[in-house]
Structure 1
Amino acid sequence: MLTNLQDRITSTQTAVLVSSFILGLGILTLPRAVTDETGTPDGWISVILGGLVAMLAGSLLAKFSQCFPGKTFYQYSKDIAGKWIGNIICLYTVGYFTLLASFEVRAMAEVTDFFLLPATPKEVTMGMLLLASAYLVVGGLNAVARLYEGFLPITVILFFLVLFMGFKEFDVDHLRPVLSKGWLPVLQGVKTTSLSYLGLETMLFLPAFMDKPRDAVKAVIVGIGISMVFYVLTVIIVIGVLTVDDVVTLTFPTIDLARSVELEGVFFERYESFLLAVWILQIFTTLSLCHYFAGLGLRHVFANENWFRPFVYGLLPVIYGLGWVPTTINDVFAVGDLLGYLLLGLIVVIPLLLLIIAKMRGMLHANHS
């Protein structure tokens, strides 16, 4: 096996990794995306339903991985489908994580340039984030998990501090009437919200590193549950402050919410800086875990454990270059849509085919130790 046995992570760390991976760009864009899809204030219901769908899918992926104890998706896909087809699957997965990493780093550069550091070239912010990611990733998954454990409390405190500052302008009437157009708009929004839980694919890999793999299902449910709380409160408060009509016209409505906050007697004015600090932490966590999985995949394709570090560094120019392919912010969002379709291939089509082949070959022997 090529899994590093020293890279053991706890069930709590697994839940933190899942939630941290999910909470990226969605914090800023989900209110607009789901409101645009539903056309009503009921997007928060779509977020809950999408979270439940993600929990079910994540649990199934965890159960599937438990059938191959101590092995990641890269390893057992080759065991099931053979070396050549398995390597094709591995390269598809590496491509997905590489493209997702480039999407996250480019989105970070766009938002940082517009709201936080307009005088700093995007090339600098992207380069610094990628170098920091490589430095973290070469330390292994355990180092990544320990850093995420430190980030999550900071994220929770700052995020809710900014979010609840908006309660001064919150109007519950902006969320009424509930289900005014029935369930159809809500169900239409589930597709959008389900893709916002991008991160459940980590359960194809993380159980192999857990010290208690039997807790994988619980960990993914808790991780997605944490993200769902963030998302639901964000959508409710953003719509409650800005109204449906305003939200659909804003690219990053959560930032506009933070910019609208005014507290008498407080001299600090740029409250969106707190939100952006949280968001940059979450973008970094998503980026670094994508970077790790992409490097891990290349190591398994070439079956050389000593090549992990060179692959991590070698991916830097690739991620950086792909990040510059989109020319506008709309192109960046188009890449996000493409990633949604690639994700369906990774968590639905490929696992289903592998499941059928493994079942036919009698390879499914669940191990929950």
Structure 2
Amino acid sequence: MSSSNTGPKENISTSQAAVMVINYMLGAGILTLPRTTAEAVRTPDAWISIIVSGLIVLAAGWILVSLCKRFQGKTWFQFVPEITGKWIAFLLSLLVIGYFMIIAASEIRILAEVTGLFLLEGTPIWAIVLPFMWIGLYLTLGGINCIARLYEIILPITLVFLVLALLLSSKIFDADNLKPVLGSGIMPVLRGIKPTLLSFTGYEIMLVATAFMKFPKKATRAVITGISVPVVIYTFTVVMVIGGMSINGVEKRTWPTLDLMRSFEVQGLLFERFESLLLVIWIMQIFSTFTVTLYAASLGWSQILNRKFRTFVFALLPVMFLIAMIPKDVTEAFKLGDTVGYASVFLFGVIPLILLLVSLVRKKGAKPN
């Protein structure tokens, strides 16, 4: 990898690659997935849709890393020209870069909306967005190794407090809210797959991360672990939210997970109300998604144009700010993220499979060592 546009060669471990996928996935879905799935399924079987979607994403992740492992030490932006030719590869790279840029912008806008609603009431959106972007800029300039090390700190904190908060909500949990299982058949479960898939975007970061792994042949293990943990967390979250609030109650709330945290108190603990604590760890996850997508987009531009990486980190920040300010409210911000999310199903589900088959037929790349 050329040092002129990526900086010194960095390495990340298999566990760090898995942690990057997990942190990327555990974004806005923690707060919104119960509602979006409940609206589509309209039965207590929403948790089954999540498991089915998780299995589909595991298959897509396996295909994606199988492609990346054929071109060890190279990112998507570097190996696709070997498969398709220069101009088609340039167009595909632009699509991937645009995807990362819009995801980063929409996530930071949703963060600002929720933070302004629950923590910083009355604060202008731009005044919340800019500080997070500047901090993200500082981290991204440190490179993928710095990003991975920070994520290793964030993830355990997130998992411990999220699971603790959900377990404490068991005092209002009613198993009857989850019955009957498959009472309306399999069709409601199938309807829930489409919106659920959007919450599992994140494995695509392996298009970049695999090139930096010390042991690229273990990329499959990293992506399977990275997807499996969010599947378990999301399933557990939806089960606890529906069990505590019922399927009808979940449908009527914009932020059902937060509303669940606000529906009970635990006397005598350091935190008697847990919604603020949940927001803190959720903000860390959104920050993770923003920084890793900023890094991927900047690296993509630097590699396809053969320019310095730092230049594009600074250049993309004002562009992402303008994109983040386009939605008029949180509803439009969600629509922006959903639109790009639907495109990702094709971009990272279908195209990698086609490229893998073409590379095998044309004998491009090498069998993983």
User: What is the TM-score of this pair, normalised by structure 1?
Assistant: 0.96
Residue 268 (structure 1) shift: 4.5
CA deviation vs aligned residue, 1:179-218 (integer Å, no higher than 9, x gap): 1011111122122222211001112221111101111111
| Whole-angstrom CA distance in 2 between matches of 1:267 and 1:138 | 36
Is the deviation greater in 182-191 or in 246-255? 182-191
In structure 1, the partner of 2:355 is: 354
Q: State which of 207, 229, 238 in structure 2 corresponds to 1:235.
A: 238
Residue 322 (structure 1) shift: 0.2
Instruction: Tell me whether 1:8 sits opposite 2:36 in the alignment.
Output: no
| Whole-angstrom CA distance in 2 between matches of 1:210 and 1:198 | 20
Show structure 1 runs of 5+ residues with no match. none
In structure 1, the partner of 2:95 is: 92
Q: State which of 22, 26, 29 in structure 1 corresponds to 2:32.
A: 29
Instruction: Tell me whether 1:114 sits opposite 2:117 in the alignment.
Output: yes
Change in Cα spacing, 1:120 to 1:328, as seen in structure 2 (3 Å) is closer
Is the deviation greater in 96-105 or in 78-87? 78-87
Show structure 2 runs of 5+ residues with no match. none
Q: State which of 174, 185, 190 in structure 2 corresponds to 1:187.
A: 190
Q: State which of 139, 142, 156 in structure 1 corresponds to 2:142.
A: 139
Residue 365 (structure 1) shift: 2.6
Residue 267 (structure 1) shift: 7.6
| Whole-angstrom CA distance in 1 between matches of 2:312 and 2:8 | 20
| Whole-angstrom CA distance in 1 between matches of 2:365 and 2:304 | 23
Amino acid at match of 1:197: F
Amino acid at match of 1:302: L
| Whole-angstrom CA distance in 2 between matches of 1:291 and 1:253 | 29
In structure 2, the partner of 1:315 is: 316
Residue 6 (structure 1) shift: 2.9
Residue 298 (structure 1) shift: 0.5
Amino acid at match of 1:322: I
In structure 2, the partner of 1:327 is: 328
| Whole-angstrom CA distance in 2 between matches of 1:184 and 1:153 | 36
What is the SS of the residue equivalent to 2:192?
Answer: helix
| Whole-angstrom CA distance in 1 between matches of 2:210 and 2:57 | 17
Residue 284 (structure 1) shift: 0.4
Instruction: Tell me whether 1:276 sits opposite 2:261 in the alignment.
Output: no
Kindly report the root-mean-square deviation, in angstroms, between the aligned alpha carbons of the 2 structures: 1.5
| Whole-angstrom CA distance in 2 between matches of 1:5 and 1:309 | 12
CA deviation vs aligned residue, 1:259-299 (integer Å, no higher than 9, x gap): 11212345844420110011000000000000000000100
Percent identity between the two aligned chains: 43
Task: After TM superposition, list the pairs within 5 Å mapping 1:1-369 onto structure 2.
Answer: 1-2=1-2, 6-266=9-269, 268-304=271-307, 307-367=308-368, 369=369
Amino acid at match of 1:194: L
Is the deviation greater in 263-272 or in 231-240? 263-272
Amino acid at match of 2:18: A
Is the deviation greater in 346-355 or in 105-114? 346-355
| Whole-angstrom CA distance in 1 between matches of 2:91 and 2:157 | 39
The question of whether the paired residues in 2 share the 8 Å contact of 1:5 and 1:209 is answered with no
The question of whether the paired residues in 2 share the 8 Å contact of 1:91 and 1:301 is answered with no
CA deviation vs aligned residue, 1:94-133 (integer Å, no higher than 9, x gap): 1100000000000000000001111332212110111111
The question of whether the paired residues in 1 share the 8 Å contact of 2:66 and 2:356 is answered with no
What is the SS of the residue equivalent to 1:166?
Answer: helix
The question of whether the paired residues in 2 share the 8 Å contact of 1:24 and 1:282 is answered with yes
The question of whether the paired residues in 2 share the 8 Å contact of 1:201 and 1:346 is answered with no
What is the SS of the residue equivalent to 1:243?
Answer: helix
| Whole-angstrom CA distance in 2 between matches of 1:90 and 1:324 | 25
The count of corresponding residues between Structure 1 and Structure 2 is 366
